[in-house]
Amino acid sequence: MQRDRWPTRLTFLFAAVTSAIGLGAVWRFPYLTYKYGGGAFLLPYLIALVVAGIPLLILEFALGQKLQKGAVDALASIKRKFSFIGWWALFIGFIVISYYSVVMGWSIIYFFTSIGTQWGDDPKAYFFNNILHLSDSINNIEGITDVVFIALVAGWIGVYFSVWKGTKSVSKVVNFTTPFALVLFLIMLVRAVTLKGSMEGLIYYLKPNFSALLDAEVWIAAFSQIFFQLSVGFGVMIAYASFNDRKEDISKNAVVVGVATVIFSILAGFIIFGTLGFMASSQNVPIEEVVASGPGLAFVVFPKALSLMPFASFFSMLFFLILVTIAYDSAFSLVEAIDTVIVEKTKMKREAIALIVCIFGLLSGIIFTTNAGLYFLDVIDHFINSYSLVAVGILECIAVGWVFGAEKLRAYVNKVSDIKIGRWWDYAIKYFVPIVLTIIVAIQLTKEFKAPYENYPQWAIWLGWISVVVPFAIAFLIPQKNIQKKNIEL
Ligand code: PFF
């Protein structure tokens, strides 16, 4: 059977870049920058990009493209038992998408409630009480919040129709959403930096505090952020690259995806902090008082700031449309990674596989639509990002660096790429990245045992560990048949 193909190189780049650019860029990056030393955070962030992010992107692109397979069979081609690394990556992706789609659902709701900025003067109460109906602790699940559930269903319908025909439908979607989101983003950027008071916000954002670099936590934050953002360790980039011709350039593509993501994130910070500067100045309060992170930033502070702007409804809709669009492209990339593997493993039709994956994704997202949904989201996100994702990164490095041979894969990369990569890449994959990632896990673990994460009750912490261990165990137990290895040499 002919393998699916991207119609053009640009389409592949659009798909990979839009998978990478998502809530991580708009929701998380600006806050991390502020929290971890302002402009000085850019240093560990950029170092993480160069020494770990781009090398791993090269690894995943090369693996998918050389072997022309999704994550499971690509890793199994190296050694049969390594199929578990691929399965684990997919399970992690599945868990991430189950809550990521809920945040996308919130953004959909906010897109509509932007008309007339319905959060009024108290966006905090609006978000937590009117939209989430948040209970007072993770112990009180109470029930499902209808509007969040409906938005979630809507989001999943969108995701289904993007992936149901594989690269054919994904291509159509990304060829439209990439330029579309870019235009919206630029309008928002110009608006934000020309607001009165925006300058103070930007200074606040970028003023470097170099002493922050002495703190290990800052480096951990930078590395995990780069990982999450570049969508490595989820099988997505392997699947996407497997639809390229085997002669497609690899290192240039990896640099384009990595650099585009980082530039976008830094500019997203301009939008966020420019707008916060405006809000602080129009309310006459210091910026410290208005900064927040995560859901608080995008769904409480930002709506408030937006409602102070001229043409508030318009710019609110614009902002949430950007959020929906970028979240959506990232969301379906995760589904596509899973579909790709199941298509290779079964004789079922792609449309049917996509439907089943989407329905399961929707069902497993229900817990995050309950009144305690935000707490569950926080716990699961923490455990998956701190442990599972990093572990898959380490395992991929070992599989490729030590078993397949970093030199061998690099020889392939250099054969097809304009930018030739040197021996440094072998060292990065064999030693540097796995060692850094191991240190990150070790430091996180000691913190975990000192105090329960965010003081959640013990059962919730157990749930977090279950979300790490059970997918790993299942992945390990899935049998792998011998696969043809003829593709392993180019
Ligand atoms: N990279 C996305 C973001 O930064 O929001 C999130 C993501 C998408 C992670 C796809 C993993 C993935 F496979």
**Interval 313-335: pLDDT, tens:** 999 999 999 999 999 999 999 99
Tell me how far the alpha carbon of residue 20 lies from the centroid of ligand 1, in angstroms.
5
Q: Whose CA is nearest to atom 8 of ligand 1?
A: 330
86-118 residues labelled b (16+ CB within 10 A) or e (exposed): bbbbbbbbbbbbbbbbbbbbbbbbbbebbeebb
Tell me how far the alpha carbon of residue 94 lies from the centroid of ligand 1, in angstroms.
11
Please state the atom number of ligand 1 nearest to the C-alpha of residue 20.
1
Tell me how far the alpha carbon of residue 280 lies from the centroid of ligand 1, in angstroms.
31
pLDDT of residue 1: 67
Of 19, 236, 326, 333, which is best to mutate to test ligand 1, by the most ligand atoms within 8 angstroms of its C-beta? 19
N residues, the chain = 490
pLDDT of residue 486: 55
Exposure of 439 by Cβ count < 10 A (0-12 exposed, 13-18 middle, 19+ buried)? middle
Tell me how far the alpha carbon of residue 347 lies from the centroid of ligand 1, in angstroms.
29
pLDDT of residue 254: 98
Q: What is the pLDDT of residues 40-49, one digit of tens each?
A: 899 999 999 9
The residue extents of the domains of the chain are 9-477
Q: Whose CA is nearest to atom 12 of ligand 1?
A: 231
Q: Helix and strand tally (H, E) in the chain?
A: 24, 0
Please state the atom number of ligand 1 nearest to the C-alpha of residue 93.
13
First to last CA, the chain: 20
Tell me how far the alpha carbon of residue 482 lies from the centroid of ligand 1, in angstroms.
31
The CATH number assigned to the domain with range 9-477 reads 1.20.1740.10
pLDDT of residue 22: 96
What is the C-alpha to C-alpha distance for residues 74 and 138, in angstroms, rounded to an integer?
A: 39
Residues with CB under 6 A from ligand 1: 19-20, 22-25, 93, 96, 228-229, 231, 234, 236, 330, 333-334
Q: What is the pLDDT of residues 288-307, one digit of tens each?
A: 888 766 667 889 989 999 99
* pTM beyond 0.85, yes or no: yes
Q: Whose CA is nearest to atom 13 of ligand 1?
A: 231
**Under-70 pLDDT residues of the chain:** 1, 292-295, 484-490
Q: What are phi and psi of 79, to 5 degrees?
A: -160, 135
Smallest CA-to-CA distance from 147 within 123, 194, 118, 112 is with: 112
Of 97, 330, 385, which is best to mutate to test ligand 1, by the most ligand atoms within 8 angstroms of its C-beta? 330
Of 27, 56, 96, which is best to mutate to test ligand 1, by the most ligand atoms within 8 angstroms of its C-beta? 96
Of 98, 104, 231, 389, which is best to mutate to test ligand 1, by the most ligand atoms within 8 angstroms of its C-beta? 231
